């Protein structure tokens, strides 16, 4: 029976985290350059 391998439920949110992290790294320099970045 296949239960997700050695990762299991870890993979689902890990992929979401990686996508969010990559988008954050790529978009922040652009937003800061154009002056549309909002401080949170």
Q: Which residue has the higher pLDDT, 29 or 2?
A: 29
pLDDT at 13 over 50: yes
In the structure, what pLDDT confidence band is assigned to residue 38 with cuts at 50, 70 and 90? low
C-alpha to C-alpha distances, 18 to 6, 13, 21, nearest whole angstrom: 18, 9, 5
The single residue listed with the structure tokens 């996508």 is 19
Please tell me the predicted confidence (pLDDT) of residue 1.
Answer: 43
pTM passes above 0.85: no
What does pLDDT average to over the chain? 76
């Amino acid at each position: 029976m296949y239960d997700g391998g050695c990762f299991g439920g870890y993979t689902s949110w890990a992929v979401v985290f990686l996508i969010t992290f990559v988008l954050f790294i790529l978009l922040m320099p652009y937003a800061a350059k154009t002056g549309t970045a909002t401080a949170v």
